[in-house]
C-alpha cells in the first residue's frame, strides 16, 4: 500500500476516532490499580490482534512488526486449533490447552473448564504470587479469559488503550501485560478477511502503528533500566469472506501466525507452529516451570 494512502487513513482514523463495537455486555470487574512489577529485568508484553489472517499480515505495511522479526522466533503457519471463533482461540493461547481441555467451542464461557486448566496469570501466581499483572482490551470477553490480575480495563478506542498501556509501562511496569486489539476483526467482518481488502489491511497497519508507540517505550526502558522484554504477538483466527466461525478445515481461518521477540533472540522462522506453545514460552521467560500443569504445548526456546 502506498505511504500517502496510509497517511490519509491515519488522519481519517484520528479525526473520527472510531470506537470498537460492543460485542457483549460488560461483565468483567474493572480494576485500575497500577500493578507494580516485582521482576527487575524480565517482562512480558502480549499483544493479540484479533482476526488477522497470515497472508493479509504479510501483505500489509507493518514496519514495527517487521522490525520485531529481526529478533524473534516466528511463524506464519500456526495451528490455532478447531472452533474458529475468538473465545476458544484466546482461551487456547492463554490457558495453554486445546479446546478438548478448556471445553470452549463458541463465544460463550458457559462450558468452560478453566478450573482444571487455569490461565497464565493463575499459573504464574502459584510460583510468584506478587507479580504485577495487567490486561487491557476493547472487548470485555477478552478480559474474562484471565483472572487474578492487578489491573483489568476495557477501552472504547485503541488510542485510549495505547495511551494507558504506555502510562502503566512507565509508572508501575507490570511484569506481564496482555493487550487485545479488536479493530482488525471488526474490519474483516465488514470488508472481508482478505489481503485484497484495503480496509482490512489498513486496520492491521493501524494496529502496527500503536505497536510502534508501545515499542518505543519498551526500547527506551531496555536501554535505561536494563529490562528485557519478551513481546508476543499473535491472533486468534483468520477468516474467509466476512466470517470465520465453523471454518476448522479452512487454512486461511485456522492457520495463523505468531512472533515472540526478546532482545537476545536470533531471527528464526518456524515452518509449522501451534498456539499452545506461547504460554509455556512466556512462563519460561519469567523463570516459572510449566511442567505438571497438563499443558499441551512446550516452550519455543
Ligand atoms: Zn477473534
Is position 182 within any domain? yes
C-alpha 227/C-alpha 79 separation (Å) is 31
Is a pLDDT exceeding 60 seen at residue 2? Answer: no
Is position 199 within any domain? yes
Region of 136 on the Ramachandran plot (φ > 0 left; ψ -120 to 50 alpha; else beta): beta
Q: Ligand 1 centre from 78 Cα, in Å?
A: 15
pLDDT confidence of residue 63: 98
Report residue 286 as a C-alpha cell.
519469567
Q: Ligand 1 centre from 227 Cα, in Å?
A: 31
Task: Count how many domains the chain has.
Answer: 1
Report residue 29 as a C-alpha cell.
470487574
Q: Ligand 1 centre from 234 Cα, in Å?
A: 11
Q: Ligand 1 centre from 109 Cα, in Å?
A: 15
C-alpha 3/C-alpha 162 separation (Å) is 23
pLDDT confidence of residue 80: 98
Q: Ligand 1 centre from 38 Cα, in Å?
A: 32
Is position 205 within any domain? yes
Q: Ligand 1 centre from 210 Cα, in Å?
A: 19
Beta bridge partners of 154: 137
The stretch 86-99 carries a mean pLDDT of 98
Q: What confidence tens digit (pLDDT) does each residue in 135-169 have?
A: 999 999 999 999 999 999 999 999 999 999 999 99
Is position 201 within any domain? yes
Is position 4 within any domain? no
Which letter does DSSP use for residue 275 in this model?
Answer: G
Beta bridge partners of 248: none
The pTM assigned to this predicted structure is 0.91
Is position 301 within any domain? no
Of 16-25, 57-66, 208-217, 271-280, least confident by mean pLDDT is: 16-25
Residue 222: which domain range? 39-285
The stretch 184-210 carries a mean pLDDT of 98
Q: Ligand 1 centre from 127 Cα, in Å?
A: 31
Q: Ligand 1 centre from 101 Cα, in Å?
A: 20
pLDDT classification of 291: cutoffs 50, 70, 90? confident
Grid look-up 474467509 returns 240
| Residue 279 CB-half CA count within 13 A | 28
Beta bridge partners of 260: 73, 232
**Which protein residues have a CB closer than 5 Å to ligand 1 (ion)?**
50-51, 86, 185, 236
C-alpha 121/C-alpha 125 separation (Å) is 6
C-alpha 161/C-alpha 153 separation (Å) is 9
pLDDT confidence of residue 179: 98
Q: For the chain, what is the mean pLDDT?
A: 92
pLDDT confidence of residue 27: 82
pLDDT classification of 20: cutoffs 50, 70, 90? very low
Is a pLDDT exceeding 90 seen at residue 24? Answer: no
* CATH classification at residue 213: 3.40.720.10
Is position 32 within any domain? no
Going through the chain in order, the beta strands assigned E by DSSP cover: 31-32, 42-49, 72-79, 133-137, 151-154, 176-181, 228-234, 255-261, 268-269, 273-274
Is position 167 within any domain? yes
Amino acid at each position: 500500500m502506498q505511504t500517502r494512502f496510509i497517511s490519509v487513513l491515519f488522519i481519517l482514523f484520528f479525526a473520527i476516532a472510531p470506537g470498537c463495537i460492543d460485542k457483549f455486555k460488560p461483565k468483567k470487574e474493572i480494576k485500575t490499580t497500577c500493578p507494580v512489577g516485582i521482576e527487575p529485568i524480565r517482562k512480558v508484553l502480549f499483544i493479540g490482534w484479533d482476526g488477522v489472517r497470515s497472508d493479509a499480515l504479510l501483505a500489509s505495511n507493518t514496519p514495527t512488526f517487521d522490525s520485531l522479526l529481526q529478533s524473534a522466533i516466528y511463524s506464519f503457519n500456526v495451528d490455532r486449533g478447531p472452533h474458529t471463533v475468538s473465545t476458544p482461540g484466546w482461551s487456547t493461547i492463554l490457558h495453554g490447552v486445546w479446546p478438548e481441555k478448556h471445553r470452549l467451542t463458541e463465544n460463550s464461557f458457559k462450558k468452560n473448564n478453566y478450573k482444571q486448566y487455569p490461565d497464565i496469570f493463575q499459573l504464574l501466581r502459584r510460583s510468584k504470587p506478587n507479580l504485577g499483572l495487567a490486561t487491557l482490551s476493547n472487548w470485555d470477553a477478552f478480559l474474562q479469559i484471565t483472572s487474578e490480575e492487578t489491573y483489568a480495563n476495557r477501552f472504547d478506542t485503541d488510542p485510549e488503550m495505547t495511551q494507558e498501556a504506555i502510562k502503566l509501562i512507565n509508572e508501575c511496569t507490570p511484569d506481564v501485560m496482555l493487550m487485545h486489539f479488536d479493530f482488525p476483526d471488526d474490519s474483516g467482518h465488514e470488508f472481508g478477511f482478505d489481503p485484497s481488502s484495503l480496509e482490512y489491511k489498513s486496520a492491521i497497519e493501524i494496529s502496527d502503528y500503536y505497536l510502534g508507540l508501545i515499542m518505543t517505550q519498551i526500547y527506551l526502558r531496555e536501554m535505561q533500566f536494563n529490562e528485557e522484554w519478551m513481546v508476543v504477538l499473535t491472533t486468534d483466527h483468520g477468516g474467509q469472506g466476512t466470517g470465520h466461525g465453523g471454518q476448522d478445515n479452512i487454512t486461511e481461518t485456522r492457520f495463523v501466525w505468531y512472533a515472540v521477540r526478546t532482545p537476545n533472540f536470533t531471527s528464526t522462522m518456524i515452518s509449522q507452529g501451534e498456539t499452545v506453545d506461547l504460554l509455556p514460552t512466556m512462563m519460561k521467560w519469567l523463570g516459572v516451570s510449566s511442567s505438571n500443569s497438563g499443558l499441551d504445548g512446550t516452550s519455543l526456546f
